A = this chain, B = another copy of it.
């Protein structure tokens, strides 16, 4: 029923090893035998069993990619780069979606190791995670991107998030804003943690007061954001602008402000972070901090493949990319 290397060998009148050798392009095989074998392969429609091959070569030509939420554009846009680039090297990618939960991350990691993937790329690691570090210590090929762990034991490539926040705050300050609210997702992610630090640092440098009343971090569903915005806008000393630690949050904020009858940027300025595709849509046209996601994903993959092929000696490395301020039309100078 199923065609194996043995069937090909019989058909071509050669040994099993010879078949294997033409499959793997051994240079020693003579032209005639190679052709006999190739003919048999074509005739019997033989496709080598990659599972069996993996068992002996110890390579699966598969890598794992762990994301927080594949339906979030940030992750799907970076996944695209990883999948496409990996394909060029005939590598497949298994995707795991953690829903941003630490336990799911750890499950995914263990599962992928059991699957014997050649390496793992983690786009959404939790600061507290230790499993990635354990793997890195055991010299299992693993690279983090976007986020890293507190212990910094695993190689990573990220954007300079503090710097990003400074660009955002500076921009608002340049426009005359002195009260700048802040919203971010959970501080258990290094991205949000650093953007938060950068926000505070930038305020301090500009001699602006850090007011906990206009700062929120945690779950960022639209209900929670609404409650926060209502509170903030009812303050007597209310802010004139807001820096959101992601474009998704920024867009939600703008929607809610619209519902509340506030126009952006006339009544209120908003800056996002990420520069996802939709941010440049003319209807949204969000001022944001751009991270070069594609480059980040490309580098992470390239480095991972280097590690897999033992071409990387200085581990763990840390690559930090520059963010960039992109001014569009959700920020405006204060009157």
Contacts and interface: CB of A to CB of B under 8 A. Distances in A.
B70 A115 contact: no
A61 to B, nearest CB: 9
A113 to B, nearest CB: 6
A111 B50 CA distance: 9
A38 interface: no
A47 to B, nearest CB: 5
Contacts of A47: 110, 113-114
Interface residues on A, range: 35 or more
Given A92-B94, A278-B278, 11 more contacts: A49-B116, A51-B60, A51-B116, A71-B77, A71-B277, A93-B94, A94-B95, A251-B281, A251-B283, A258-B283, A283-B284
Interface of A: 47-52, 54-55, 60, 62, 69-71, 73, 75-77, 79-80, 83-84, 87, 92-97, 99, 110-111, 113-116, 251, 254-255, 258-259, 277-278, 281-284
15 contacts: A47-B114, A49-B116, A62-B94, A70-B80, A70-B83, A71-B76, A76-B76, A80-B97, A84-B99, A93-B95, A94-B94, A95-B95, A251-B281, A281-B284, A283-B283
